[in-house]
Amino acid sequence: MHLELKGINKHFGPVHANKDIDLTIESGTIHGLLGENGAGKSTLMKVLSGFIHRDSGEILLDGQAVEFKSPAQAIRAGVGMLHQDPLDFPPLRVIDNFLLGREDGLMQNRARATADLKKYSAQFGFDIDPDALVSSLTVGERQQLEIMRLLSLGAKILIFDEPTTGISLPQKIKLFETLRLLCEQGMTVIFVTHKLQDAEDLCDQVTVLRLGQVVGEIARPFTADQLVKLMFGQALAASTREQIKLGEPVLDLRNITVADYRLRVPDINLQVCAGEVIGLAGIEGSGQRLLLRACAGLDKPVAGEIWIGGTKMNQQPYSRFLDRGVSYLPAARLEEGLVPGLDLTEHFILARRTPEFFIDWKAATSNAQLRIKEYSIRGTPSTHVESLSGGNQQRALLALLYPNIDLLLLEHPTRGLDIESTMWVWKQLLERRKQGTAIIFSSADLDEIFEYSDRILVFSGGRVAKALRASETSVAQLGELIGGKGLEVGN
């Protein structure tokens, strides 16, 4: 299916998200769509897939103009979109989610749907139990389910919005194999990403957006340096990480066991000093989040002791952890970190934790303006947080942190961010490190783990490996440990 977008425009109030965009994508190809956070990539794809309506312009499929007022209309025409956060229902079973969107009436043919699901699974080498709960699947498996569902609905153009965010390296390899196979079968794939290496490895052609406009197109072969210059208008300076002298112990975990209804991770021992950075590596859902939430006081450990600054914190409420200088930034920015419906000014007011009954709105607005300028947030004091791009939401979360923090816990601090935003985030974090803040972060990006960690904790199969010094560990060794090979549990 041949696709053309002509003169696409989309406004959100005063923000011109897409400006006269022209784009042509040939059938049977993988076409990359690149741009920094807030460049308009997701907006353009939501216009194409019927999630939002364009203000002006044309969409042509095989030369015929089409009009999509909903995702259902788009999928009937052969256009399906797999979002960065899969649009599924985790409490339901795989087969129930696979049936979503079908127009078979009230009586769904579950036997036929199960046969279809198994057929697609065999075709692409997937291994998903139709009766499993979606909540038990990894992010990569949820993506696989969504691919099969869209294909069963007749999709011929598949849009993938940041599909490698939050998945492991083996899952990414499997995803790329699937996308190449889809193209061999005549499908068209639009691959939205900010990861230059992914575009270089996978895409036949790339279109780059900047500030809502097309600024360039480039066909294979191309390099990451060429893409950077198109995305940002210049080459980016490499980040530098200074060696600093570590301070006194900030966190001491003694035989900690963390668990939820799916996983139990016993006997975690770790001492973290002021100014030290600890990276948590492992396949998503291996216990990293459980440990971070326990250290933040959000969840209680099943066993063991948590000491912060020489004070035992077991059974203490979350507020006491805040008082001890502990801060936590979750990966789910809107669901856990920010409050949809509130603007930036209101967030800065909430973050102050002051006892005043009355609010000085003039002073609060002025403070918001200062923070917005300091953290380069693309918004105003009255901007609602849900309208910010992912990168600007992360900047807002960092702006909400207290000036003096002893222990900073971060879950995927740069997930979904472009290279420039990633470098900016780590510049802020390393500056706090120089001031004595201890940092523990989880990431699915092994390069990020290596670049910024002093020591690495590897989670695998319900176990935690002995802490490794990043300077003495290789990518290959880390990959083997994540897979469970040579895992040495200990202090």
CATH of the domain at 433: 3.40.50.300
Q: Residue 37: CB partners within 8 Å, gap ≥ 6? A: 194, 389, 390, 391, 392, 416, 417, 418, 421
Q: Is the model's pLDDT at 119 over the cut of 80?
A: yes
446 touches 169 (CB < 8 A): yes
Do 431 and 311 share a structural domain? yes
Q: Is the model's pLDDT at 232 over the cut of 90?
A: no
Q: Is the model's pLDDT at 235 over the cut of 60?
A: no
Angle of helix 419-434 versus helix 224-232 axis, rounded to 10: 90
Do 140 and 41 share a structural domain? yes
Whether residue 490 is contained in a domain is answered as no
Do 219 and 270 share a structural domain? no
Residue whose structure tokens are 């002025």: 366
Helix (H) or strand (E) holding 33: strand 30-34
Do 303 and 160 share a structural domain? no
Whether residue 156 is contained in a domain is answered as yes
Q: How far apart are CA 375 and CA 168, in angstroms?
A: 30
pLDDT digits (tens, 9 = 90+) for 240-275: 667 889 999 999 999 999 998 778 999 999 999 999
Q: From 197, 232, 267, give the residue that closes a domain.
A: 232
Do 263 and 396 share a structural domain? yes
Whether residue 489 is contained in a domain is answered as no
Do 178 and 261 share a structural domain? no
* CB-CB neighbours of 129 under 10 Å: 14
Whether residue 255 is contained in a domain is answered as yes
Whether residue 491 is contained in a domain is answered as no
Q: Is the model's pLDDT at 461 over the cut of 80?
A: no
Whether residue 240 is contained in a domain is answered as no
Supply the pLDDT for residue 25.
94
Residue whose structure tokens are 């200074």: 242
pLDDT digits (tens, 9 = 90+) for 270-314: 999 999 999 998 877 788 999 999 999 999 999 999 999 999 999
Whether residue 425 is contained in a domain is answered as yes
User: How many domains does the chain contain in total?
Assistant: 2
**pTM of the complete model:** 0.68
Do 32 and 138 share a structural domain? yes
- Domain with 122 in it: 3-232
pLDDT digits (tens, 9 = 90+) for 400-409: 998 889 999 9
Rounded to the nearest integer, the mean pLDDT of the chain is: 88
pLDDT above 70 covers a percentage of the chain that reads 95
Do 140 and 22 share a structural domain? yes
Do 365 and 216 share a structural domain? no
Whether residue 299 is contained in a domain is answered as yes
Supply the pLDDT for residue 224.
79
Do 312 and 184 share a structural domain? no
Do 341 and 432 share a structural domain? yes
Do 89 and 139 share a structural domain? yes
Q: From 205, 232, 259, give the residue that closes a domain.
A: 232
Q: From 201, 232, 263, give the residue that closes a domain.
A: 232
Q: How far apart are CA 478 and CA 489, in angstroms?
A: 14
